[in-house]
Amino acid sequence: MKNPAANLTGSATIFILDARQNIWRRNFLGDEIFLRDGERLDDLMRSGRMIIQDAREFCFSMDAVLIAHFPHFKRNARVIDLGTGNGVIPPMIADDVREICAVELNSRAADLARRNVELNGLTEKISVVEGDYRKHREIFRAESFDAAIANPPYTPVTNGAANQIVGIARARHEFTATLDDVVTAARYVLKFHGAFYMIHLASRLCEIVDALHRRQMEMKRLRLIHPKPNRDANLLMLEAVVGANVGNLKILPPLIVHNDDGTYTDEVRKIYGLRLS
């Protein structure tokens, strides 16, 4: 159902409220939710929270949902999300921590992140900082966070491929931040014994271990993610701790995303709050 305001001349904004969104708006916010042209409202399946996304830009994937469910946060933790995108992770972890700082370089994504914080009534718990976490020394105090979380770009950019990667694909390539950049930023902002949580490519495990070790961070939990049974792992989730001793790495049982028939496994369905098969 389109809002009549969509027909106003001279307006660059299209207001869309379908029946489901309208009901949710009345029940949870009491304020009207206006979506701009190309935007949609998605359910986060967590505490009744929703997220505005721009279908023309990078929308969050399962990776963000999985890493949001992986950490063991302390209840009074102060957490930083390095590269928050449109702000999908903070609302999913907000009930588990005291405070969240969400950092985003892209202006459009940072604007969406701020609107999503307001949408879910979390302005007193989540702050959005538009900035480049590679310039962490200019933005943050050292050792000021208890935990850091990241769903960073995964794929290195080769000179030959750089000009061929456009649009959504750029969000998954290391154009603005490398693996080393995100680990360096995490180390700078984390307190001694602070925890760093990240999802990344399984094929880059050796690089990840090296990057962490060079910054006095040791991996303490590791979980590999497999697309289907009997398929090689394509992703991993990790917890690394600043100043921890080497060793005592806990390798968790693998997470299988899909059954052989392509349906979600019961564990993934549970993460999404779906009925078990």
In a domain, 72, yes or no: yes
In a domain, 10, yes or no: no
Domain count, the chain: 1
The model's pLDDT over 140-181, given as tens digits with 9 standing for 90+, comes to 999 999 999 999 988 777 655 555 545 456 567 666 789 999
- How large a percentage of the chain has pLDDT more than 70? 81
In a domain, 216, yes or no: yes
Q: Say whether pLDDT at 69 is over 70.
A: yes
The model's pLDDT over 186-208, given as tens digits with 9 standing for 90+, comes to 999 999 999 999 999 999 999 99
Mean predicted confidence (pLDDT) in 95-119: 95
Q: Say whether pLDDT at 84 is over 80.
A: yes
Question: What integer pLDDT is reported at residue 34 of this predicted model?
Answer: 75
| Separation between Cα atoms, residue 187 and residue 156, nearest integer Å | 21
**Closest of 268, 197, 277 to residue 227, by C-alpha:** 268
Q: Say whether pLDDT at 252 is over 80.
A: yes
* Cβ pair 242, 214 in contact under 8 A: no
In a domain, 171, yes or no: yes
**Residue of higher predicted confidence among 108 and 142:** 142
3 state SS of 93: helix
Question: What integer pLDDT is reported at residue 60 of this predicted model?
Answer: 84
Q: What is the CA radius of gyration of the chain?
A: 19
3 state SS of 8: coil
Question: What integer pLDDT is reported at residue 276 of this predicted model?
Answer: 83
Place of tokens 């903070």: 90
| Separation between Cα atoms, residue 214 and residue 97, nearest integer Å | 28
Mean predicted confidence (pLDDT) in 224-245: 98
Instruction: Read off the CATH number of the domain in which 115 is found.
Output: 3.40.50.150
Q: Say whether pLDDT at 28 is over 60.
A: no
In a domain, 195, yes or no: yes
**Residue of higher predicted confidence among 156 and 58:** 156
Its domain, for residue 260, covers 62-271
Compute CA distances 120 → 54, 112, 137, 264, whole Å. 17, 12, 30, 28
In a domain, 277, yes or no: no
**Residue of higher predicted confidence among 198 and 57:** 198
SS3 content of the chain, % helix, strand, coil (to 5): 30, 25, 45
* Cβ pair 264, 255 in contact under 8 A: no
Q: Chain-centre distance of CA 7, in angstroms?
A: 35
